[in-house]
Amino acid sequence: MINYHIHKPIKLNNVFEIPIDTTKWEYEYNTIKKPWTPKRKGKFSFEELLIVKEQTDYLNLVNGHGIYILYFTTLNKFYVGISAAQSKTPDPILSRLRKHRAKATATNHIKGPTIDHTNYLNNGWWEVAKERYSKFRNNDELSDCILAIITIDQHKKILEKYSGDKLFLENLEYKMGNTLNPVNKHIFQYLKLTGINNWESFGRKQKGEEHKCNIKTWDNYQFII
């Protein structure tokens, strides 16, 4: 069993300043070669995709590793991702979130790491971006997006004991992709989100290393999944 802590869910725009992409888009992507990108004028540098607000308790969290969940409340969709410390080039949660912000709003950035705008099983980020653009057009500041982060308790000890964290995080990512697991139900209740049966998780997931995940919540509830 590995112990985890899920931190209080928070609106994404309470953690970051999110510049609006005002360029026009015709719902098309460049797919001749990887990385796939939206057919859209480049707007921001990589760092400008999400600008961390100075006064946020989430600074250490987004610069660390673990599970991150993005709930898009106007779409009834959510995405679960991992940021593993066990990597040749560790990608902190902040970097992962910047990439997903670009995918969610079909933003074509101009400087920094490449971003592959994937569309897993034809129901991935393309569909999210198209739905969002049809709703918000050139005024999407992701105001409906809620962020939740799950960290491993005593992460360094886990890394040393098991020689890595990736397979464990993949397993938790897989389990959190189940809309009706007790942790998601708790989050939905806390956020006063309704119609949980109508929500869906999207994106590729690996089953990783099966183990019991003991998850303590920000409000002192505990779940084992």
Q: What is the DSSP letter of 33?
A: S
The domain total for the chain is: 1
Q: What is the DSSP letter of 120?
A: G
Neighbours of 35 (CB within 10 A): 12
Q: Which structural domain, as residue segments, surrounds residue 49?
A: 2-224
Q: What is the pLDDT along the chain (225 residues), one digit of tens a residue?
A: 999 999 999 999 999 999 999 999 999 999 999 999 999 999 899 999 999 998 778 999 999 999 999 999 999 999 999 999 988 788 999 999 999 999 999 999 998 999 999 998 888 999 999 999 999 999 999 999 999 999 999 999 999 898 899 999 999 999 999 999 999 999 999 999 999 999 999 999 999 999 999 999 999 999 999
For residue range 41-69, what is the model confidence (pLDDT) as tens digits? Answer: 998 999 999 999 987 789 999 999 999 99
Rounded CA gap, 122 and 119, in Å? Answer: 5
Report yes or no: 78 and 199 within 8 Å, Cβ to Cβ. Answer: yes
